[in-house]
Structure 1
């Protein structure tokens, strides 16, 4: 089970995308003749609001109880400095790695996650030190709490319609391949996940919209899958 949002989770997500038969069918033609790579921008990472004591039990399980009690009130924003070069080697490897990722992968409260996509294949994933490292065709932006709910099963379409996600890129191509990002979100929900940060409850309006779009999304995906299967069956190549 991977901690979200970390490099390990993104790697597991990439493997899940590669194994997804739904994506294989829906994404036929995606990234062919254009850049189909995607940048997932996760804003408002709650480092200052989250303490070490708020983390899932599994994260600090190997930390001695007396040390755990003494640092439980330390925020994640302050933790890298609190555990300097002298103390850090004595910490469990997973805690050291988490502190490293907080220092190097979170920039002004934001994580930039690169996902390479071409047709049904994930060509690579990476949490970037610098968002300009990779050229992408699409950027999908939203706050951590929105992404957390998508990983828990909220439809990407609902989050976009509600204005919780902003999608940047060629809109004409996106309409032509309208279900690709929805399926990418569905695959994210299939990854076995433990969240690093506490979640916030959805508003009643969000819940109503989520439920309202689920059936049309399912019907649309089924229609696209059937059309793609027919096209591939009839194609001589």
Structure 2
């Protein structure tokens, strides 16, 4: 079954697959323990996506505990924002670009403690591999 991106259904499938992933569970152990490890994925409108979209993803100790679409950054508490154009999210989801490579090259902007992200770079790789495993249809 294909999941439309961006959508809550896609994010729910992402959550389920993260929680089924032994690799993510191992690499993400300790993430969000003693600090806010929750993310907002800010998908920036581009020539394909008509308006910005925001998805909250709660991550703690190798588990994804919640996902939901939010209207803006202030709607939920979070420790990190990962921001990029819709077309770049598509490349990330399709496995054409890694999350760390995308952040280090400036394709994606990260708000939050980059040192923490680098400390858990294996979790970021596992998250990207997980997103690439989802049969995705792009809405735009």
- TM (normalized to structure 2)? 0.90
Corresponding residue for residue 106 of structure 2: 163
Larger radius of gyration between Structure 1 and Structure 2 = 1
Structure 1's unaligned 5+ residue stretches are 49-108, 198-237
Match of 1:62 in 2: none
In the alignment, what sits opposite 2:67? 125
Q: Secondary structure at the match of 1:187?
A: helix
Gaps in structure 2 of 5+ consecutive residues: none
SS at match of 1:145: helix
User: What's the offset of the Cα at 1:122?
Assistant: 0.6
1:33 is matched with which residue? 34
Moved segments of 4+, more than 4 Å? none
Query: Alignment partner for residue 191 of structure 1, among 123, 128, 134?
Result: 134
Instruction: State how far apart, in whole Å, the 1-side matches of 2:121 and 2:98 are.
Output: 13
More strand per residue: 2
Q: How many residues align?
A: 137
* Structure with a larger share of its residues in helix: 1
Query: Equivalents in 2 of 1:130, 1:176: separation in Å?
Result: 28
SS in 2 for 1:12: helix
Q: Which whole-Å CA distance do the structure 2 matches of 1:129 and 1:7 have between them? A: 13
Distance 1:4 1:131 in 2: 19
Q: In the alignment, what sits opposite 1:14?
A: 15
What CA RMSD, in Å, does the superposition of the two structures yield over aligned residues? 1.5
- Alpha-carbon distance in 1 for matches of 2:76, 2:107: 24
- For normalisation by structure 1, the TM-score amounts to 0.55
